[in-house]
A and B are shown apart, each in its own frame.
Chain A
Amino acid sequence: RKEVEQDPGPFNVPEGATVAFNCTYSNSASQSFFWYRQDCRKEPKLLMSVYSSGNEDGRFTAQLNRASQYISLLIRDSKLSDSATYLCVVIFSGGYNKLIFGAGTRLAVHP
């Protein structure tokens, strides 16, 4: 079983749609959680950290369910510029800040 699993997609959605990505992780000692976005042939950019209480940044909402070892990202009112690959990233406790990446979920927003 992979340490961090994501649905690879692609998710093809119209502008204005709401889309949700899910991610599961295998190590219950996981400590920190992030969503990064990566545009084609560019570097990963930190989108948001994910906290136990859930957190929101504009149109983006991240949730963490430690009991189910599950992280989600909700994007509301999708824009064309949201088209990218979204990487779920986990750091395991004692993992010396080593990022464990999921394979990424591709999002394509169309007009």
Chain B
Amino acid sequence: DTEVTQTPKHLVMGMTNKKSLKCEQHMGHRAMYWYKQKAKKPPELMFVYSYEKLSINESVPSRFSPECPNSSLLNLHLHALQPEDSALYLCASSRGQGATTYEQYFGPGTRLTVT
């Protein structure tokens, strides 16, 4: 089973709203990732959590705030977003992260529209 789930599937929010995206995996993976994908572009890495600790932040604006409550869950808290933040937000997980590379499995994504 290589399933990563994400909720909600779609989200429309105003620029003053606060919302959260959720991601869950039950594969025992110890690394989880947030990506942003704009139309007709490849995914861009935002954050990496390894063993529930933030290991990579790709200079993402502070209006995006990740959280890893436990090894199965990953959240992305959104606040004061801009219309240009509208995109598909993808979560992924892998067995680990570090010197050995592992295949990453993606969730179905949350399609976010900021109005």
Residues of A within 8 A of B (CB): 31-32, 34, 41-46, 49, 87, 91, 94, 96-99, 101-104
Contacts and interface: CB of A to CB of B under 8 A. Distances in A.
B23 to A, nearest CB: 12
A97 B43 contact: no
Chain B contact patch, size range: 20 to 34
Given A87-B42, A103-B41, A97 B106 contact: no
18 contacts: A42-B108, A43-B106, A43-B107, A44-B43, A45-B106, A46-B103, A46-B105, A49-B103, A91-B101, A96-B48, A97-B31, A97-B98, A97-B104, A98-B56, A99-B104, A101-B43, A103-B42, A104-B42
Nearest to B39: A41
B97 interface: yes
A111 B96 CA distance: 42
Contacts of B43: 44, 99, 101
Interface in B88-114: 88, 90, 94, 96-99, 101-109, 111
Nearest to B4: A43
What 6 A-B pairs have minimum CB-CB distances, sorted nearest first?
A101-B42, A32-B101, A43-B106, A97-B97, A91-B101, A43-B109
**Residue of B42, B48, B88, B105 with highest tally of chain A CB at under 10 A:** B42
B6 to A, nearest CB: 9
Contacts of B107: 43
Contacts of B55: 96
